Structure 1
């Protein structure tokens, strides 16, 4: 009887510790990660148009790098629109040298495609120099 109780308690401890460690794992530092994919706005559109399910599997939660022209600056949400199709939010305040019409290379985590706004969403963005 004692052996069963000991095994049960040990099992609950192992499961509890595993759940805790999984839930509170360290946050990713996208800025220091190597980009999984280097893409263009046109390339993303083409992949999502041809097969959005495969494109989501490929890019979801991956670090991507892209270069495009800044079309809109949204200081309220700390983000920019690039190539009229990419909405990128920055984890740090927007760099002061970002201006509308400027070509910019960024790296960030791909979140998905917003069908309502017809925009690709990227967060934790940073400027690549």
Structure 2
């Protein structure tokens, strides 16, 4: 009888450790890189602005690939077509862009500023 009780305890402890390991692996898995995610929208920034402002909730946190003209530059990012602010994924990416340049970017939609009527993207990368 004692041997049977000892086997039950070992089985329960082993099961708990295994389950804990898988929960830990699932919880602390690395995030997908923006480069690896396929975009939910491909097109021009002007078309996307019209689409996203009418129904923003369906585009929030989605990855998009847009082509547009840089109308303003900032140390943290740039503005496409006066209505779409893109924050760089890496700070050194700002040296590759110039005002009035047509650019294709990939980024994640993170918000809409009602006051400025501007869409916000982060983790933006320039595509060649």
Specify if TM > 0.5.
yes
Shift of 1:38: 0.6
Shift of 1:24: 1.7
Shift of 1:11: 5.3
Structure 2 distance, partners of 1:55, 1:120, is 11
What residue in structure 2 maps to residue 52 of structure 1?
A: 56
Matches within 5 A, 1:1-129: 9-10=13-14, 12-56=16-60, 60=61, 62-75=62-75, 77=76, 79-92=77-90, 93-129=92-128
**SS of the residue aligned with 1:108?**
strand
Point out where structure 2 has 5 or more consecutive residues left out of the alignment. none
Q: TM-score, normalised by structure 1?
A: 0.72
Q: Which has the larger radius of gyration?
A: 2
Structure 1 distance, partners of 2:115, 2:127, is 29
Please, what is the CA RMSD of the aligned residues? 2.6
Structure 1 distance, partners of 2:59, 2:38, is 20
Shift of 1:85: 1.5
Q: 1:43 to 1:2 in 2, by over 3 A?
A: farther
